[in-house]
A and B are shown apart, each in its own frame.
Chain A
Amino acid sequence: MARTLSTKDVATDAVTPGTPTRRRRRSYVRPRWTPYFFIAPFFILFGIFFGLPTVRSLQMSFYTERGVDTSAEFTGLDNYATLVRDPTFYKALVNTSYYALGSILIIVPLALSLALLLRTRGLLLREFFRLSFFLPNAISGIVVAIVFRLVFDQEYGLLNNWLLAPLGLPKVAWLADPAFIMPSIILLGIWQFTGLNAIYFMVGLQNQDPGIHEAATVDGAGPWQRFRYITLPLLKPTTVFVVTFAIIGSYQLFAQPVALVGEGGGPNRAGLTLTMYLYETAFTNLDLGYGAAIGYAITVIIVVLSVLQMWAQGFFRKESA
């Protein structure tokens, strides 16, 4: 009987002569799967302990669930509608943005200056300084805040007695006067995070080709021109990284203000940050659905601000070019 051979038959027969074409073959893992197999445990654990809770909390944000013994009731966008009318949320948003703006505008230039300073040729004890600047970042936020409570103490604190008093200035209630609470937290942030960011900038500076600077010098560029037109533009990826992480870190600020002014944020809630408000809503008031909505609002704010600053720094223009 005449039989038309298909290309598949030909191929199969060619590879495994004598093997029945209908036989179901066992397939084997290709070696290219092996790496995935080895990294799978991380992704499985990540999925269970991060992915699932992330999805669950998104779901929860559309439900009203309050108290210990309660059942979740689907309320759609009710939590988000409450959020846009919640004055405490706006208070926390303003406070957090104040910190973010204050810390970024001060920490980033300060860190860059430090990095440039640490690059100075012939600087004595360079490694010691690098280590010293990094050390505050290795200390727990709570410990730092407890130490800074003493620094900010109105009667016996270092700032009032060693800095303001010798200048004849009156004592400041750093942690009791609402006007000074956020500046105090920013001061703490500067102390803790400038060194780390300086190290990022130092890495960025080290990666710059010295030849470009030398060529500019030969062409008659002065130190300021070299900094303005060569160093800074070449540092753009580092700056984007530093600012993005500063935004993320600022909007997640929690331990330091809690230890400095308490969970409620102190007088007039001047130290209340978004994550503190989330914690208070979800774990003190047990308003889990609303807490989840606050969490997602924080996520959206961080993503929007990060993308905006990357766009402002031309990050996407560079990518598309």
Chain B
Amino acid sequence: MSETDPLRLGGHEFASRLILGTGKFSSVEVMARAVEASGTQLVTVALRRFNRERPEDDLCGPLAKLKVTLVPNTSGARTAAEAVKAARIARELCGSPFVKVEIHPNPHHLLPDPIETYEACKILAKDGFVVLPYMPADPVLAKRLEDVGCAAVMPLGSAIGTGHGLATLEMLRLMVEDSGVPVIVDAGLRSPSEAAAAMELGCDAVLVNSAIAAAGYPAAMAGAFAAAVGAGRAAWLAGLMARGDAASATSPLTSFLDCA
């Protein structure tokens, strides 16, 4: 299915519809095994000061070996200006055109600031970035972000790292119906069944980090998410049957037990 059904982001095509975050893993090796098991082609990374005491935290080398495309995020930014600056530094570092715009000023809930996000996306899209904004599950904002040139919209399922799943389900449904760019559920997923549900709804991809990094066996969970995303996408393409209010028999009801 994936051969003929690529995820398209700003002129780039990807067979995998699972994007992985690289945070919270217990080691670089555990992260690398999870990335491999997931089959992902896109991974997010964060820009931080190089720590000479912990050179092993530098992910450039390990991720280059895995041959994945980097999606630097702008985490730590509280304003559009800071996010734009982070995106430009990241592009200088790795040359990737992708950026995940992530602006969340409040550490209590880490919810994205819609106004600063919109302003940053406007600037970065004009600047030639493939802009992927982490955003509230708001269908109106999604259209506005599409209009300024975002390559996708990335609404949250629930707050980052909470594992509360698709708390925004009805809003996601509206976004999928309206969107002219891919809808990628980013944040809040805990289980592969939630990823499958998002895909069955018509979402184009999911971004998962905590659910895999904090699993008992991250690589195994990455494989489970990959299978769920594939199943959900296949189900969406196959076309789910309509829901009905009344029962509808699958076996013929013609009586025979009263014969003779």
Partners in one complex: no
Residues on A lying within 8 angstroms of B by beta carbon are none
